[in-house]
């Protein structure tokens, strides 16, 4: 009787330890990279598009031609996260767009004012136009880097 009780106790302890593995194992991405949480998404309609630039060339408008990585993500419960892995060290800037109608671009009105959500690294604000690469750029040392970008509508 004591042997079966001891065996049950060992089994429960093992089960409890195994149950904690996903919590421990997945709190950080196993690959170093740039991990961006997108805040203030108005709705779960459409996609969130994240574009990572390594130079001022084409920043921020020429996403498909100039960004080194572009991610298009479905939105779940008004949340999204872009994970850029295997990125070399350097200086980068990020553009995030909430493409609500999924046409692949940031829609604007007649005066060029965005009608969809947008954001930049460093939470750089757009004044009379988009910010410069220098204003939105950040250094990346090859380790895990996590930050947030708030969308503006």
Q: What's the whole-number mean pLDDT along residues 77-89?
A: 94
Q: For the chain, what is the domain count? A: 1
Q: Say whether 6 sits in a helix, a strand or coil.
A: helix
CA separation for the pair 94, 69 (Å, rounded): 10
Is 3 domain-assigned? no
What six digits make up the tokens of 105? 């671009």
Domain of 69 in residue numbering reads as: 31-150
φ and ψ at residue 8, rounded to 5 degrees: -65, -40
Give the CATH number, domain containing residue 144.
Answer: 2.60.40
pLDDT attached to residue 25: 35
Q: Are 48 and 96 in contact (CB under 8 A)?
A: yes
Of the listed ranges 18-22, 47-51, 82-86, 91-95, the least confidently predicted one is: 18-22
Q: What are the structure tokens assigned to 24, written together?
A: 């421990």
- The whole-angstrom separation of Cα 92 and Cα 133 is 8
Position 9 in a domain: no
* Token reading at 40: 């203030």
How big is the chain, counted in residues? 153
Structure tokens at 74: 């479905």
Q: For 105-146, what is each residue's pLDDT tens digit? A: 899 999 989 999 999 999 998 888 899 999 999 999 999 999
CA atoms of 10 and 76, how far apart (whole Å): 40
Tell me the per-residue pLDDT of 14-51, one tens digit each, with 9 for 90 and over. Answer: 433 333 333 333 344 567 999 999 999 999 999 999 99
Asked, for residue 55, whether it belongs to a domain, the answer is yes
């Amino acid at each position: 009787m004591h042997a079966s009780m001891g065996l049950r106790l060992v089994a429960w302890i093992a089960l409890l330890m195994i149950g904690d593995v996903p919590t421990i194992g997945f709190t950080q991405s196993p690959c170093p990279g740039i991990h961006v949480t997108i805040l203030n998404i108005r709705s779960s309609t459409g996609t969130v598009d994240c574009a990572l630039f390594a130079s001022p060339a084409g920043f921020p408008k020429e996403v498909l031609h100039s960004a080194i990585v572009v991610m298009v993500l479905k939105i779940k419960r008004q949340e999204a996260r872009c994970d850029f892995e295997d990125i070399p060290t350097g200086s980068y800037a990020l553009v995030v767009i909430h493409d609500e109608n999924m046409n692949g671009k940031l829609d604007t009105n007649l005066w060029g004012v965005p009608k969809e959500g947008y954001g930049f690294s460093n939470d750089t604000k757009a004044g009379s136009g988009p910010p410069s690469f220098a204003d939105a750029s950040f250094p990346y040392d090859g380790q895990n880097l996590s930050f947030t970008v708030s969308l503006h509508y």
